[in-house]
Amino acid sequence: MKGKFITFEGIEGCGKSTQIKLLCEYLERKGIPFLSTREPGGTTIAEAIRRVILDPATPEMLPETELLLYSASRAQHTGELILPAIAKGKMVISDRYYDSTYAYQGAARKLNTDFIDVLTRFATFGLQPHLTILLDLPAEEGLARIRERSLDRLEQEALSFHQKVREQFLVIAKKQQYRYLVLDASKAPEDLHRAVLKALELV
């Protein structure tokens, strides 16, 4: 049996971590084999790249460097962890995947999307999520939710940056409705969790 690849996307503070935690707890209770991971990260090499990308002490990082580092992390993450888990029949749940690159580096950083297309195909080995859950929230609300925590390099970007990210996620979701579920992230976590389970045909 082949597994499924589920990704969660959204702006900072949208509640991805909460929904992933609730989903994993449900799968564990039901005895459904799964793997929970994140981008950038998931493997030793990819986690090391994550620390470089998100370090607030490197504000001089160029958008081009950022894009290439994300792609390098994704290649290792996909090849070493995600594809083998799917082949074993596990449900793989990832906190972000390549849609975030189109939103952050494509829309917000204004990098060439044709080049991102090429990098994405290369770094993902052609893998596409079976379902992407977008937790949609106005950027100002998301940033307000994370105000009290220590912010990484991308979280420290201006409101206008995060607004562009949100707008691009919605554009992608509209273009790729066949794999997207858009949820209002201002709703109660329990309501969102039920919607996620329904979309995954688990209830």
Query: What is the dihedral sign for C-alpha 133, 69, 38, 52?
Result: negative
What pLDDT score does 78 carry? 98
What pLDDT score does 21 carry? 98
Is pTM, for the whole model, over 0.85? yes
The residue ranges of every structural domain in the chain are 4-199
pLDDT tens, the chain, 203 aa long: 479 999 999 999 999 999 999 999 999 999 999 999 999 999 999 999 999 999 999 999 999 999 999 999 999 999 999 999 999 999 999 999 999 999 999 999 999 999 999 999 999 999 999 999 999 999 999 999 999 999 999 999 999 999 999 999 999 999 999 999 999 999 999 999 999 999 998 75
CA neighbor of 135 nearest in space, from 21, 18, 17, 10 = 10
DSSP type of residue 56: T
Angle between helices 63-77 and 44-54 (to 10 degrees): 160
Q: How far apart are CA 72 and CA 61, in angstroms?
A: 16
4 forms beta bridges with: 91
For domain 4-199, which architecture applies?
A: 3-Layer(aba) Sandwich (3.40)
Is 112 in contact with 86 (CB distance < 8 Å)? Answer: no
Starting at the earlier edge strand, list the strands of the sheet with 4-9. 34-38, 91-95, 4-9, 131-136, 180-184
What pLDDT score does 1 carry? 47
End-to-end CA distance of the chain: 20
What pLDDT score does 2 carry? 75
